[in-house]
Structure 1
């Protein structure tokens, strides 16, 4: 999908940015159709994969910053000596603020370099079916036109706590596609000086008071410095509603929480919706290990509607 927010941020910082996207491929490819990267004179973000494929694409993209959009069909084996065996069609477009102003609606639909004439009927039918709710748009190249739906973060993730584990979670989860992160703690100084792009930071002396502002379909990771705050957040989230929730903890901590939450009026079935521990505790208690386990579990949860935990404790005293 077309990540308009990332492109807008890059253009605001760099002025002119080349966007390289895999428009199509024959045979195997390092990445899927729609995989994209942004390239500017002094840097890049994102990846189309492939090592040599990406290196050459970056060089062409930087050259295009002084010229025009381009379309390149790259046979991976003969041209680059890669073992994939397929051929990749790369679309490189130069974006600036004026071009961005023309992006409207829910998709970016345009002719690729070398294509002239009016929009093909096949493309118009794709758009009509999407407007009528008959079929969603997908990223594809159709008769020389490129169709890319705008990326919409599908999952709201709230991370409660900016200590060691909270920081590791944000660092690991922020680059993943389809997530919008909201990060909460008690004061601005609890957060690092540099926060990943797109993460919303919410300092609040009473973090539990922010629960009412979370979407009811959000997912929550509770990793604060305080067991009392963890419990209060669990209590309020159970009354507010959520898609998934997990709290860092040991078996002993969670047994106490279950008892106290029951005393606050929550049923066993409601309490069981909160996952404790989070991630894969077989990886250990190091903050990054916890974050990696959580990220894997979250990806699987999104794909298969699984829970986040493994059934063993991962509590860290004052881990945050």
Structure 2
């Protein structure tokens, strides 16, 4: 879990003052882990929110009192909230009017001078490149979200739209969405998604970083094939193709004719996602999203080898 600065910035731009409630510490059983957070803002009908700290009474009360709660509060979930988890959580509640002062790597804040334990944690985190959210007394340390995984989605049809809508909220993903005409895209593009229009989408493949993950699902089999050919020639961390086993068998033969080896072709995953979930665009999107999320460790290993 990490501090999503861009989501906070977008919420402030839309709603004004925004409270952020984060699970700062957990003892025993709790509905969410340390670092789970939600944003809360006021509306004419009461508080509204994005994100979750676990639901139930804990979340309801935290949202209701987000602008009046003490900065830190420890809440036993059974006695105080009537929840059956049995543990206790410490919530950190902060109100923001801008996000300009939040660093790009690690956000450490608290009252008074920075404690030695926090200074030591920051030094170790920056040296190792790894930081986990943790409360040090009254000081909270969190990694700041950066979109570090480039995902290129080729195709803005029903499946492409469902996949982008499903993946866009994941803060680590930098999504580039490509199709042949502006009219093929929906009117609203999710925040953080870059739309590219090109009559020949395959000519954009060289602009994708070699660590990009590609999801190929255009309206045209010929274009899908050309994209597979270009991606294989360019390099990638992951490539998935929508289609049947029959389509993939045909593509394999064509890709061999274009000079690619079986070992290279095997790096393309087809069919993508989880076919047993069904062919509804949203069902495909759920399967693809699960595959993308599970791909994280493989992609990180690729980055370590090439970094």
- What TM-score results when the alignment is normalised by the length of structure 2? 0.91
Q: For 1:149-164, what aligned pairs fall within 5 Å after superposition?
A: 149-164=143-158
Query: Residue 229 of structure 2 aligns to a residue in which SS?
Result: helix
How many positions carry a matched residue from both structures?
294
Partner residue, 2:214: 220
- Classify the secondary structure of the residue corresponding to 1:45: strand
**Partners of 2:106 and 2:141 within 8 A in 1:** yes
Distance 2:249 2:33 in 1: 45
Q: Does 1:21 align with 2:22?
A: yes
Query: 2:287 maps to what in 1?
Result: 293
In 2, the alpha carbon distance for the partners of 1:56 and 1:141 equals 22
Compute the displacement of 1:103 (Å): 2.1
> Is residue 2:205 matched to residue 1:211?
yes
Deviations 1:208-265 (A, max 9, x none): 1111111111111111000000001001001111000011111221111111111111
Q: Which residue pairs with 1:8 in the alignment? A: 9
Q: Which residue of 2 aligns with 1:87?
A: 88
1:271, CA displacement in angstroms?
0.7
Correspondence for 2:132: 138
Match of 2:108 in 1: 109
Aligned counterpart for 1:60 among listed residues 65, 68, 88:
65
Mapping of residues 1-320 of structure 1, within 5 Å: 1-42=2-43, 43-63=48-68, 70-97=71-98, 100-111=99-110, 116-131=111-126, 133-134=127-128, 136-303=130-297
C-alpha distance in 2 between matches for 1:304 and 1:217: 11
TM-aligned CA deviation for residue 101 of structure 1: 2.4
Deviation at 1:22, TM superposition (A): 0.5
Structure-2 change in CA distance of 1:304 and 1:135 (3 Å): closer
**Who is 1:310 aligned against?**
none
SS of 1:41's equivalent? strand
Give the C-alpha shift of residue 177 in structure 1: 4.1
Deviation at 1:303, TM superposition (A): 4.1
What displacement does 1:62 show? 3.9
Question: C-alpha displacement at 1:10, in angstroms?
Answer: 1.1
- Name the SS of the counterpart of 1:104 in structure 2: coil
SS in 2 for 1:205: coil
